[in-house]
């Protein structure tokens, strides 16, 4: 690990100020320290934000939840309100990482974790995300775990989070504090950037901008929620494909359809056209197949990850079958 | 960096390079070599300790981030003449071969049984609003952060199951 300065922040304002001269926030550190050991990341300065008062889960006035950025993945998954009213979020969290990691990993950090692309981790190979302009070794390399949607010629990395997929399907918003004291709220769609010509830029966050909370809207009534994760082993593995779904039925027709996807793209993926197609229709295999057609219309495989395209189709159809069957039962 | 850690009930004042992981502080600075370094990347679980009662990978955290925290290592869970019920069960159920992952397995399982007692759900829990039961699937899922290259898994699961049964 390269040497760095270390300091503790005493308040969010202090954290923002300390970051003014450049610096990287550390919370759980489970991804950052991993990358620092490999010198994939080498910050000059770490600002420890673990002492900040951001570990509460509070109910909002409109029936939602405000989740402090430092709430651990375990505490969030275990929260009785989340388990009851936003089960897709509990399920996604419990499908991720291991017991030890969930105890340490935080809500804010989980959103900002980096891709697990093998070439991002391997400093002996080119990677436009790690070393802009050096090229992408993944396109023609071992790309089994990489993206088929939203990629660019410069990067085919996937976003690895399960939690973020559930947050996306729940229309969660991120609250941030900028260095100048200004706060803002961003949807997850707005938070994450697609790689385009600059895969090294992953979010719209400015230097020193701190995520302070994630806000969930009120729970969706009269709909079933699920998180389906397909992976290479039964536990403690990243998603090859995952689907977070919230689907409701009324009088035999689909009245509500929110769907987000993991393992397919550089950010938690959502496609409004897929959802629009489903609304008002009677559930059927033909309909679900059409939904998959729309989702995957622009999907492109790179060899070893070609299988993700049919896998995503089958997972989506299976999830829609499950959610429309349970709702009608 | 001045760091104060309470380890197995004893307070230690350390002066550490900020790069020192909690695992290296335990092993290299305090001579507590029960916690093992396997992968050093949070993938194998050999370094598992409890911080303020919760299991974590001590290789993936800096010692200075834990100033003032209470840490329990395998040395605090039991000693050769005073084994914890889980340690005894690992022996009687033959829950290891080479033994390298064992301290991590036992620290992890000790905390995991507390998590179950507190009603935490897991990926293997059918109804996450219900209290979980200690099935083989639940144990396997909850222990998936601890690898055993000797593949003593069936006996590890059995040791954990028996311990939980006997304490119930």
The pLDDT tens digits for A235-250 are 999 999 999 999 999 9
> CB B141 to CB A234 under 8 A?
yes
Which chain B residues contact residue A234 at CB under 8 A? 140-141, 144
CA distance linking residue A24 with residue A42, whole number of Å: 10
| Alpha carbon distance A101, B56 (integer Å) | 6
Percent of chain A residues topping a pLDDT of 70:
99
CB contact (8 A) between residue B1 and residue A6:
yes
Report the greatest alpha carbon distance in chain A: 63
Residue of B17, B35, B42 for testing the chain A interface, max A β-carbons within 10 Å: B42
Token code pair at residue A110: 């989980």
According to DSSP, residue A113 is labeled P
Mean pLDDT of chain A: 97
Backbone angles phi, psi at B134, to 5 degrees: -95, 65
- Terminal CA-to-CA distance of chain B, rounded, Å? 44
Mean pLDDT, residues A34-59 taken together = 98
Searching chain A, which residue's CA lies closest to the CA of residue B44?
A: A98
Subunit contact A84:B145, Cβ cutoff 8 A: no
Strand order of the β-sheet with B70-72 is: B10-15, B2-7, B70-72, B48-51, B54-57
Report the sign of the C-alpha dihedral through residues B5, B10, B16, B19, in that order: negative
Give B58→chain A minimum CA distance, Å.
9
Residue of A nearest to B122 (CA): A94
- The reply to whether residue B123 touches residue A95, judged by beta carbons under 8 angstroms, is yes
Which residues in chain B have Cβ-Cβ distances shorter than 8 Å to A26? 62, 65
Residues β-bridged to residue A215? A66, A173
List of residues 6+ apart from B82 with CB closer than 8 A: none
Residues 6+ apart with CB under 8 A from B79: none
Cα–Cα distance measured from residue A50 to residue A36, given in angstroms and rounded to the nearest whole number: 18
> B18–A97: do the CB atoms touch at under 8 Å?
no
| Residue A328 reports pLDDT greater than 60 | no
Give residue A327's pLDDT: 45
Between B153-167 and B102-117, two packed helices, what is the crossing angle to 10 degrees?
40
Residue B18: which of A4, A95, A103 has the nearest Cβ? A4
The domains located in chain B, with CATH, are 2-77 (3.10.20.30), 85-167 (1.10.150.120)
Give yes or no for a contact between A231 and A304, defined as CB atoms under 8 angstroms apart. no
Sheet strand arrangement including A65-68:
A57-59, A65-68, A210-216, A173-177, A183-187
> Averaged over A174-180, what is the pLDDT?
94
Please report the pLDDT score of residue A20 as a whole number. Answer: 84
SS3 state at A309:
helix
> Structure tokens of B142?
């909850």
What is the rounded CA–CA span in Å between residue A274 and residue B64? 48
Q: What pLDDT was estimated at residue B167?
A: 87
pLDDT score recorded for residue A326: 54
Mean per-residue pLDDT, A15-21:
88
Q: Which residues does B151 contact at the CB level (< 8 Å), separation at least 6? A: none
A interface test, pick of B144, B147, B148, B160 with most A CB neighbours within 10 Å: B144
pLDDT on residue B81: 97
- Model pLDDT for residues A292-316, shown as the tens digit of each residue: 999 999 999 999 999 999 999 999 9
Q: How far is A41 from chain B (nearest CA, A)?
A: 14
Q: Which chain B residues touch A if contact means CB-CB below 8 Å?
A: 1, 17-19, 21, 40-42, 45, 48, 54-57, 60-62, 64-65, 108, 111-112, 115, 119-123, 125, 128-129, 140-146
Mean pLDDT of B99-124: 98
Cβ contact A95–B40 (<8 Å)? no
Q: Tell me the residue length of chain A.
A: 329
Query: What is the pLDDT, as a whole number, of residue B38?
Result: 98
Q: Quick one: DSSP state of residue A97?
A: S
How far apart, in Å, are the Cα atoms of A293 and each of A145, A150, A274, A288?
A: 21, 16, 9, 9
With an 8 Å Cβ cutoff, are B129 and A37 in contact? no
Mean pLDDT computed over every residue of chain B: 97
Measured CA to CA, the distance from residue B21 to residue B14 in angstroms comes to 13
A29 touches chain B (CB under 8 A): yes
Please state the rounded mean pLDDT for residues A213-221: 97
CB atoms A48 and B19 under 8 Å: no
pLDDT at A254 exceeding the cut of 50: yes
**Minimal-distance CA residue of chain A relative to B115:** A99
Min Cα separation B56/chain A (Å)? 4
DSSP letter string, chain B? -EEEEEETTEEEEEE--TT-BHHHIIIIIT--TTS--SSSSSSS-TTEEEETTEEEEGGGSBGGGGTT-EEE-HHHH-BTTB--HHHHHHHHTT--SS-SSHHHHHHHHHHHHHHHHTT---TT-S-TTSPP---HHHHHHHTTT---TT--HHHHHHHHHHHHHHH-
CB contact under 8 A, A100 and B123: no
pLDDT over threshold 60, residue B101:
yes
**Is A4's CB within 8 Å of B48's CB?**
no
A98 interfacial to chain B (CB closer than 8 Å): yes
Please judge whether B108 and A99 are an interchain contact, meaning their C-beta atoms are less than 8 angstroms apart: yes
Quick one: average pLDDT of B51-71?
A: 98
ipTM score assigned to the predicted complex? 0.98
Parallel, antiparallel or unpaired: strands A45-48 and A5-8? parallel
pLDDT tens per residue, range B22-37: 999 999 999 999 999 9
């Amino acid at each position: 690990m390269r040497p760095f300065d270390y300091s503790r922040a005493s308040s969010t304002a202090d954290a923002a100020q300390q970051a003014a001269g450049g610096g990287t926030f550390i919370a759980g550190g489970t991804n950052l320290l991993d990358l620092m050991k490999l010198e994939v990341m080498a910050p000059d300065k770490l600002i420890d934000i673990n002492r900040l008062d951001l570990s509460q889960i509070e109910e909002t006035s409109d029936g939602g939840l405000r989740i402090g950025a430092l709430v651990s993945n375990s505490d969030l998954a275990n929260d009785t309100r989340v388990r009851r009213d936003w089960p897709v979020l509990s399920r996604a969290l419990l499908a991720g990482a291991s017991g030890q990691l969930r105890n340490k990993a935080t809500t804010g950090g989980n959103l900002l974790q980096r891709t697990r692309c093998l070439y991002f981790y391997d400093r002996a190979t080119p990677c436009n995300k790690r070393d802009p302009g050096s090229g992408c070794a993944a396109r023609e390399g071992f790309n089994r775990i990489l993206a088929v949607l939203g990629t660019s010629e410069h990067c085919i990395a996937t976003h690895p989070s399960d939690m973020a997929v559930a947050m996306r399907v729940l229309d969660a918003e991120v609250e941030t504090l900028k260095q100048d004291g200004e706060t803002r709220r961003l949807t997850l769609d707005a938070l994450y950037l697609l790689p385009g010509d600059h895969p090294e830029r992953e979010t719209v966050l400015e230097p020193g901008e701190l995520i302070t909370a994630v806000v969930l809207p009120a729970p969706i009534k009269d709909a079933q929620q699920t998180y389906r994760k397909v992976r290479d082993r039964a536990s403690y593995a990243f998603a090859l494909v995952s689907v977070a779904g919230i689907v409701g039925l009324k009088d035999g027709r689909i009245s509500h359809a929110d769907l987000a996807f993991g393992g397919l793209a550089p950010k938690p993926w959502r496609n409004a056209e897929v959802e629009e197609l489903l609304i008002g229709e009677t559930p059927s295999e033909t309909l679900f197949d059409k939904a998959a057609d729309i989702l995957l219309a622009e999907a492109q495989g790179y060899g070893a990850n070609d299988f993700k395209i049919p896998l995503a189709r089958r997972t989506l159809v299976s999830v829609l079958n499950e959610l429309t069957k349970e709702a009608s039962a | 960096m001045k760091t104060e850690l309470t380890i197995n009930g004893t307070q230690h004042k350390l002066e550490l390079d900020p790069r020192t992981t909690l695992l290296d502080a335990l092993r290299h600075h305090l001579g507590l070599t029960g916690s093992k370094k396997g992968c050093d990347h949070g993938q194998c679980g050999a370094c598992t300790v409890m911080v303020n009662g919760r299991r974590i990978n001590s290789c993936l955290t800096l010692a200075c981030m834990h100033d003032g925290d209470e840490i329990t290592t395998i040395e605090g869970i039991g000693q050769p003449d005073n084994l914890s019920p889980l340690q005894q069960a690992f022996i009687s159920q033959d829950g290891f071969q080479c033994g390298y992952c064992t301290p991590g397995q036992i620290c992890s399982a000790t905390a995991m049984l507390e998590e179950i007692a507190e009603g935490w759900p897991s990926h293997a829990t059918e109804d996450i609003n219900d209290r979980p039961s200690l099935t083989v699937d639940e144990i396997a899922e909850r222990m998936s952060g601890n690898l055993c290259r000797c593949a003593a898994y069936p006996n590890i699961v059995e040791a954990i199951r028996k311990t939980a049964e006997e304490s119930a």
